[in-house]
Structure 1
Amino acid sequence: MKRALPLRLHAALATMALAAATGTLVSMPEASAATGSATGYAAQNGGTTGGAGGSTVRATTGTAIHQALCGRASTSTPIIIEVTGTINHANTKKVSGSSCDTADGVIELKKVSNVTLVGVGGGAVFDQLGIHIRESKNIIIQNVTVRNVKKSGSPTSNGGDAIGIERNVRNVWIDHTTLEASGGESEGFDGLFDLKDNTQYVTLSYSVLRNSGRGGLVGNSESDRSNGYITYHHNRYENIDSRAPLLRGGIAHIYNNHYVRLNESGINSRAGARAKVDNNYFEGSKDVLGTFYTDEAGYWQVGGNVFDNVTWSRPGSENHPAGPDPKSNTTVTLPYSFTPDAAGCVPAIVNRTAGAGKGLQVSDGKC
């Protein structure tokens, strides 16, 4: 009498069949990538663990990423997708299946949960191809570069956002990424890191955002105030015109970031948003904190920040800079503890740890 195969072996055989069909490489059995632990608000609301405990699949194309999602037993089956090489329009096609909802020309994490997408070694490059997270939860993205995603011109992807998160999303950790453009809206680009339409419990950490007209937003209009509980820490914003970030409603914790060349404005807290702004280093920038381009006020709690060669504009009807001597006008109580680095050490710490290809290094608290 034949013995039934264990369920885990069934899963292993199914994954091996997927690998044979798609050209992806699979490490078995159910392994967990060394991605560290989520921090800040992403560690709240039950935590963010991504695909921990699931199978590990290696993908070299965008199509293979979609195939890995579609080859799972369900939309919530944990999976770690290790990515290597360059992902672009030519190798990213729609794949169909009951555990996925994908599209051509974009990495689509839609209506899924328990997924880790991590670049191997020096990281993977998503070239002119955005990552879209929609109606999903428990997602981790690490050690990837996303560059030159356009909303106009050719080719276009993801509405011009490097990483776009929207519609009833919970618990996302974006870590050690490099998000970059080559200009602003007139050159066809939009935001580097946009959150909207009821997105909550997100952390952006140890990432580089650069050379863009728009760093990113929380809320796509003054009425979109359903987003919040966002942590930004140990990131470098460089040569950004505005939105570093723009906050509409909700609560954000912004600490130990290095801001260099914010050309027009930086942290734009408006429409009732409340930002806790701790131990950041602002350098060679303009209007790094305040409420800008609206008369709908936002609020901030400040402490321990360094303002190095920062200029401030005069207040106006839709221009409300926090400086030249920023003072707190609200209080934000955090549900987690944190130990910030001294602001004076932030440039050195962020320089050696932030971005893709840094070996997922984190701060040791030393300059």
Structure 2
Amino acid sequence: MTLIKRLLSLTLTAAICGTAGAQHGLVGFANYSDMGLQGTTGGAGGKTVHVTKREDLSRYAGADEPYIIILDADLKGHYDYNASPKQKHDVISIKSNKTIIGGGNGAHLDSLGLDIKNQRNIIIRNLKITKADPDAISFRNSHHIWVDHCDLSSQKEERDENDGLLDFTYGSSYLTVSWCRFHDHDKTSICSSGTRNLADYGRQRVTYHHNAFINCTQRNPRIGYGLGHIFNDYNERNTLYAIGMFARARVNVENCYFKDVKSAFNQMYSTDFGKNDTYWGFIRSTGNIFENTKNNTEGNSNGFDVSQYYHYDFAMDNASDIPALIAATGCIEGIESDIIPFPGDGAIGITDGTRIFCSDIEGATNYTYRIGTSPDNMQNADPASFKMKPSTTYYWQVTINGGKHDGKISGVFRFNTASAKAHFPTPSDGDRHTALREIDKEASATRCMPLTLRWRKGFDARSYTVYICGNKNMSGAMIKTVNTESYCPTGLKQGETYYWRVDTNRKDGSVEKGDVWSFKSDISHARTGRNEAEHAVRGGLCFPERNAAPGWIAASNDSCCTGDQGPGYMSFVWAGKNGTYDITTAYFDEKSGEGSFSIYVNDNCKDTWTANVNRNTMQTRTTHTVNLSRGDEIRLEFNTMRNMRCRTDYMDIKPAAKKTRH
């Protein structure tokens, strides 16, 4: 879209909706169906309340019931930077199912932050937050969050007291941050809990779009462990770096504008070891403009496929247009009457029985809905009785009836319904390096669990029948009927190609036959003698590491395998003679922390020990009289704990020593 067309669109939207820059409603990961929610609705369905006092804001924000809370006054926290000793930080705690909106042209929270822990389904809009300590907005172990049109800042000379402006940590997921202005701060926004936090593994799905990061030193944002999608953001005078990535995160950066930024992208912690390191992050850079920004502007991977989570092309602008849109970021007038759609704009995978609705607008008596399969062919429809079809894009629009916003018309929203078939398989179809064990992201795992096959829900699924075998025609397949979009098969072997199909058992009793998908795992053979750990098939939080500090870790072959906080494994398949063997494992015991190791043959545990000598030396452990048959899997599992990194050098396999008779 050209700049002139874009500005005309904003002007028209402002005239119709009263809010420039918010015309698409919620776009991004906060729309994704997972973790028991189909998207983010905030306080929709709850009562709308206006508050002007701190105690009222605390009462409604901390209530168990859903609320749409409109803050019509500025509030000042109790924190005093000049007090000695410094006063404890001041926050408002927020519970699930809340929408908090600054009324008018926005509400100002001075030295007062928002704290969200173990909650879900929250919308925060049109707030100006300054000098909050330690964070302006802090999310921990929370999911399905939308932060929109907020102005967040501190003063850099106070950065020792301030931490983040928007931090999303400890297993949080499904966040969208849009049209916000971040400025005059150091550590702006982090999406992870730093390093060595298993809670973030498999979480941290975040979208940032149309935000401005001005005079912010770093973390604009910084993403670890998960998936990050950043489009149409504006970065200016980031004096350390703009976007950081680490801990296997995959980040797509599209059509953004960088001006006077020291370093566009920053690889955290892992420059010594490269892309195989535990802390390496991956980034794809497309369509971005770099003005007076020369350092680290190139991507290093293909990123990830956003279309498997949501659509967004309708909301994306050209990078050259972004500087002119900065004025639309931050707090704006009249956003409390903005019409928020559900399903969210660009949502995908919408299933049968999902009801279309918009958020409640104060004073409205009812709403008129127009729905169709093209924006030019929408007809009046009752969402309660509207019948959707699979694999269809629907467009819809809402008119408010009654109250002071009578006659207001929303923008045109869109969503895609799910295919009648099971779709978007994990592992992806044709994957040639599938790990046969994985970390259980739903629990504080101490070991890796067998691979779980997953897929996206069919449009009107009642249950599924899963077929898996070693041949494409599916003859002799193992068959299992399940009620969820996942299945954990047993007995999978390293190095084999597997074919699988998921048939959808529909609500009307018919069956939608699925496509045949395939995946293959790697294999590494072990034989008598020394088997280097870095040659094993690795999974979980296990990565090869070179000896970057000679004299500290004297690993053979100049390499070892290292594990981050949490579980991982190294796998060999025995290619030697059938017999009884002693297995000696060499591992590095750090000066602090603790790690556990276990040796399995297939799924039978043969030995377990703990690394807690803490001498910063290489140690060995011999597991005696292990029976091995050709084709057996020899698997060394570990779990790193208490700020330790488990490092393994090799497994030396020798025929078992014969006992001497006396």
| TM-score range for the pair, normalised by the shorter chain length | 0.7 to 0.9
- Structure 1 residue 177, shift from structure 2 partner: 0.2
- Structure 1 residue 122, shift from structure 2 partner: 0.8
CA shift in 2, pair 1:38/1:59, >3 Å: same
Instruction: State the partner residue of 2:520.
Output: none
Instruction: State the partner residue of 1:300.
Output: 283
CA shift in 2, pair 1:358/1:299, >3 Å: farther
Structure 2 distance, partners of 1:186, 1:205, is 24
Give the secondary-structure state (helix, strand or coil) at the position aligned to 2:163: coil
Structure 1 distance, partners of 2:302, 2:54, is 44
Instruction: State the partner residue of 1:218.
Output: 191
Matched, 1:145 2:133: no
Matched, 1:234 2:210: yes
Unaligned runs of 5+ in 1: 1-33, 92-102, 151-159, 313-321
Report if the CA contact (8 A) 2:179-2:211 is conserved.
Answer: yes
Structure 2 distance, partners of 1:255, 1:171, is 19
Indicate which of 60, 65, 71 corresponds to 1:68: 60
CA shift in 2, pair 1:291/1:90, >3 Å: closer
Give the secondary-structure state (helix, strand or coil) at the position aligned to 1:347: helix
- Structure 1 residue 247, shift from structure 2 partner: 1.2
Q: Which amino acid aligns with 1:337?
A: H
Instruction: State the partner residue of 2:76.
Output: 88
Matched, 1:327 2:289: no
Q: Which shifted more, 34-43 or 120-129?
A: 34-43
Instruction: State the partner residue of 2:140.
Output: 166
- Structure 1 residue 69, shift from structure 2 partner: 3.9
Instruction: State the partner residue of 1:201.
Output: 174
Give the secondary-structure state (helix, strand or coil) at the position aligned to 1:113: coil
Structure 2 distance, partners of 1:252, 1:106, is 27
- Structure 1 residue 352, shift from structure 2 partner: 2.6
Indicate which of 72, 84, 91 corresponds to 1:106: 91
Give the TM-score normalised by structure 1. 0.75
Q: Which amino acid aligns with 2:328?
A: T
Instruction: State the partner residue of 2:329.
Output: 354
Give the secondary-structure state (helix, strand or coil) at the position aligned to 1:202: strand
Report if the CA contact (8 A) 1:48-1:171 is conserved.
Answer: yes
Question: Comparing both chains, which one has the higher relative contact order based on Cα–Cα distances under 8 Å and sequence gaps of 6 or more?
Answer: 1
Give the secondary-structure state (helix, strand or coil) at the position aligned to 1:68: helix
Q: Which amino acid aligns with 1:222?
A: T
Report if the CA contact (8 A) 2:130-2:153 is conserved.
Answer: yes
- Structure 1 residue 37, shift from structure 2 partner: 3.2
Instruction: State the partner residue of 2:223.
Output: 247
Matched, 1:183 2:156: yes
Give RMSD over aligned pairs: 2.3
Instruction: State the partner residue of 1:7.
Output: none
Instruction: State the partner residue of 2:571.
Output: none
Matched, 1:43 2:28: no
CA shift in 2, pair 1:253/1:353, >3 Å: same
Q: Which shifted more, 46-55 or 230-239?
A: 46-55
Unaligned runs of 5+ in 2: 1-18, 80-87, 272-278, 340-410, 412-662
Q: Which shifted more, 216-225 or 197-206?
A: 216-225
Give the secondary-structure state (helix, strand or coil) at the position aligned to 2:322: helix
Q: Alpha-carbon deviations, 1:288-321, whole Å to 9, x = none?
A: 1130344421011111000011032xxxxxxxxx
Structure 1 distance, partners of 2:294, 2:148, is 30
Instruction: State the partner residue of 2:263.
Output: 287
CA shift in 2, pair 1:330/1:208, >3 Å: same
Q: Which amino acid aligns with 1:252?
A: G
Q: Which has the higher strand share?
A: 2
Matched, 1:122 2:109: no
Instruction: State the partner residue of 2:437.
Output: none
Structure 2 distance, partners of 1:37, 1:285, is 30
Q: Which has the higher helix share?
A: 1
Structure 2 distance, partners of 1:186, 1:68, is 31
Give the secondary-structure state (helix, strand or coil) at the position aligned to 1:290: strand
Q: Alpha-carbon deviations, 1:17-37, whole Å to 9, x = none?
A: xxxxxxxxxxxxxxxxx9973
Indicate which of 293, 303, 306 corresponds to 1:310: 293
Q: Which amino acid aligns with 1:258?
A: Y
Structure 2 distance, partners of 1:233, 1:259, is 12
- Structure 1 residue 185, shift from structure 2 partner: 6.3
Structure 1 distance, partners of 2:161, 2:175, is 27
Give the TM-score normalised by structure 2. 0.42
Report if the CA contact (8 A) 1:282-1:308 is conserved.
Answer: yes
